[in-house]
Structure 1
Amino acid sequence: MAEIKLDFVNTFIDARGKVRHTFRRKGHKRVTIKGRAGSAEFMETYHALVEKTGGTQSPAEIGGGRTKGGTVDALVVAYYKDDAFKKAIAKATQNMRRPILDAFREFKTPSGRRYGENHVATMREKSIRAVMEGKTTNSQKNFLKALRGFIAFAMSQGAVTVDPTAGIKPLKDGAKSSGHMTWLEPQIDQYREHHKLGTVARAAIELLLNIAARRHDAHVIGKQHTREGKLSWRPHKTLRSTGKMLTIRIIPELQEALDALPESTKSEGVLTFLVNDYGRPFASAAAFGNKFADWCNAAGLKPVLCDDGRTRNYRAHGLRKSALRTLAHAGATGVELMAVSGHSSLDQLQEYLDEVDQERSADAAMTKLAKTR
């Protein structure tokens, strides 16, 4: 895959041999961008820094006026400017899909010709499979989602009549990915032991754990969402789809953590429960995620080698999974889980219900066995 170049980003290898990325813009403080380059977390932080420092033209739009009509280049530029991209999908999703589509444009055929120079109508399944070759299953899934969104736009513009991705499915590359690390009781206890009541770090884990919020929602939830002992908000992820409102009761454990926050974190005009080291709301979900990672490291939570062979750290999203797992083990039904998580399909929650059923069935089987001994 071609290298993705971003304005103001300097990439280098430090003295320890680690790849580092810094955001450098004249007149502004240098900032290190954490995360894997091109990931949703990385791109969300990058775009937040660009906007904060005055904005810039999208990397994909530079030279847009010189693209040839009908080419992939020209249509991608048009797609980025259209509401189908700017309004129909969430900002975080935009930040993730931009580098994917830009890399697709820069991918070269064996002859050395860029895909972006090709006419949209000439896209074929074989060419798309060539771009996917060597990618992990998750990377293939993200690539297909991004490309299918673009092709849907192209079809709406009459530039193409057939979806060349229709017959393509992501290849399986071994063990199924377990995704973000799910927190269990020992890790939660370890974090709580280090971050006492009265700290923002403690309020953060209680908020994430007790309402199963995504990090994007957790960093903006505050006093304005409190009503009669409950929190009511519209999840950011579904604002453009279902737009559903979630209302969840504040349990004593969470209320205790919120009440314990010192007055120094409750600056005038600041409504969010969670604030940064300067007493201000976090600039973005990525900024909050980076800070939460620091809190996890401070609590001594170490990376873990997972069943799929990947090493993962304990992070904010893993608490959402832990919250749903705990609810399922407490006897919550699928519909009840959906009411808390905001999922629109029970299929997305089935893994938690299956886990409970497996454990209970196994316990019952072993109990029966014990009676025969």
Structure 2
Amino acid sequence: MSRIRLRYVDHFTDRHGTVRYYFRRPGGKRTPLPGLPGSEAFMAAYAAAMGAPENKPAKQRGEQGTFDRLVALYYESAEFKTLKAPTQRAYRLAIERLLMLEKMGPRPVRGFNRTIIKGIMAKRVATPSAANDALKKLRILMKFALDLGWRDTDPTLRISKFKEGEHHTWTDEEIERFEAHWPIGSVQRTAFALLLFTGQRVSDVAAMSWKDVSLDGQRIRVTQEKTGTKLDLALHDDLLHVLADWPKWEHAILQTSWKRPFSVKGLGNKMADAIGAAGLPDECVTHGLRKAAARRLAEAGCTAHEIASITGHRSLAEVERYTRAAGQRILNDAATLKLASRRLPNQTQETP
């Protein structure tokens, strides 16, 4: 009698002497098969088991206690999943790049120390922002390792950040130079006006839509991608002038030549090219327009709270950082006028 050989089928003899057949893929669960191999019931159950999706255990990243396993667990944590989607993408990209460049993946988390961290930062001393971002991500991972009980101490404590430069705040002369090069009606000028007169980030300007503009055309609603802050902004007269004859497309205000909304990166690249074509210095970058908007508001006498109501900043300290370039000459003139209106003690009597 020929013996039927079926894949993933095995058998055992139970305590009553009966041969029991079962189906099991490697690493999977046993599925009992009724009757004898070749019988109708047996073959039907076997066919169903073969057709069922394989429930292979998910392969875990890295060995227990390594950075590979730590970051895999971090990506599944509430701390990571509650971040905004753009922040999640940025954090994941930065962490993966750090692990790749420093070959940290298979290293044990418990063996990580201050000397290693300082070495990582020293490699990036020429780019302080990169060094500080690496330190920030390491602090996040070390805190998470503490929460998991993988470490007893945080080696990032008391390691100071490098001093960073700041984005250049556009001057009025640079603004005029851009406007002189790009006429009203060009996508470059329209994007420029939206950035400057709303004080928003590139990501928020790329998402602006005509449906967010009020019925009277005087206001626009913005939900900031980075923070989720909701703003209701009055449109400046100069911006209204630029938008007056701009096409009222169904979706985004700014669209590519293929009539599709710009991606954040696409709009950023478009503006970088436009700035270069206008002959402006390298220090003039798109984010500097947001700072220029805050500077102009400060020079107009707006309070920090008033500026924050437009830029969406949650921290007044951050607003003050943005407005450091508020025209020193204008503020000095205001201070001098205040002093001039007050009679000094040595001026109360005429000199004989």
The TM-score normalised by the length of structure 2 is 0.71
Give the CA deviation at 1:234.
Answer: 1.4
Deviation string 1:262-314 (CA, Å, 9 cap, x unpaired) is: 46xx2xxx3211111111101x21111001112222323242xxxxxxxx3x2
SS in 2 for 1:219: helix
Aligned pair partner of 2:119 in 124, 130, 154: 130
| Aligned AA (1:216) | S
**Using a 3 Å threshold, how does the CA distance of structure 1 residues 106 and 344 change in structure 2: closer, same or farther?**
same
Deviation string 1:98-121 (CA, Å, 9 cap, x unpaired) is: 34423443456xxxxx43322222
**Using a 3 Å threshold, how does the CA distance of structure 1 residues 147 and 297 change in structure 2: closer, same or farther?**
same
SS in 1 for 2:255: coil
Give the CA deviation at 1:81.
Answer: 4.0
Contact residue 295 and residue 327 of structure 2 kept, 8 A: no
Contact residue 208 and residue 215 of structure 1 kept, 8 A: yes
What is the rounded CA distance, in whole Å, between the counterparts of 2:143 and 2:83 in structure 1?
Answer: 12
1:291 equivalent to 2:270? Answer yes
Q: Which range moves more in the overlay, 142-151 or 73-82? A: 73-82
| Aligned AA (1:79) | Y
What is the rounded CA distance, in whole Å, between the counterparts of 2:331 and 2:295 in structure 1?
Answer: 17
Give the CA deviation at 1:158.
Answer: 3.0
Structure with more relative contact order (C-alpha pairs < 8 Å, separation 6 or more): 1
Aligned pair partner of 1:210 in 194, 197, 200: 197
What is the rounded CA distance, in whole Å, between the counterparts of 1:115 and 1:69 in structure 2?
Answer: 14
Report what 1:223 is aligned to.
Answer: 210
SS in 1 for 2:105: helix
1:177 equivalent to 2:165? Answer yes
Structure (1 or 2) with the larger CA radius of gyration: 2
What is the rounded CA distance, in whole Å, between the counterparts of 2:294 and 2:334 in structure 1?
Answer: 23
Report what 2:297 is aligned to.
Answer: 327
**Using a 3 Å threshold, how does the CA distance of structure 1 residues 138 and 246 change in structure 2: closer, same or farther?**
same
Report what 1:164 is aligned to.
Answer: 155
Aligned pair partner of 2:139 in 130, 142, 148: 148
Give the CA deviation at 1:140.
Answer: 2.1
1:344 equivalent to 2:314? Answer yes
| Aligned AA (2:140) | G
Query: Alignment RMSD, CA only?
Result: 2.7
Contact residue 106 and residue 116 of structure 1 kept, 8 A: yes
1:194 equivalent to 2:181? Answer yes
Aligned positions of 1:94-109 closer than 5 A: 94-106=88-100
1:276 equivalent to 2:256? Answer yes
Deviation string 1:192-224 (CA, Å, 9 cap, x unpaired) is: 222222222221111111110100000011112
1:251 equivalent to 2:203? Answer no
SS in 2 for 1:116: coil
What is the rounded CA distance, in whole Å, between the counterparts of 1:84 and 1:203 in structure 2?
Answer: 39
* Gap regions ≥5 residues in structure 2: 1-58, 341-352
SS in 1 for 2:226: helix
Report what 2:224 is aligned to.
Answer: 235
Count of matched residue pairs: 278
SS in 2 for 1:232: strand
SS in 1 for 2:288: helix
The TM-score normalised by the length of structure 1 is 0.67
1:116 equivalent to 2:105? Answer yes
SS in 2 for 1:159: coil
SS in 2 for 1:247: strand
What is the rounded CA distance, in whole Å, between the counterparts of 1:347 and 1:251 in structure 2?
Answer: 25
**Using a 3 Å threshold, how does the CA distance of structure 1 residues 126 and 237 change in structure 2: closer, same or farther?**
same
Aligned positions of 1:44-83 closer than 5 A: 65=60, 67-83=62-78
SS in 2 for 1:236: coil
| Aligned AA (2:186) | T
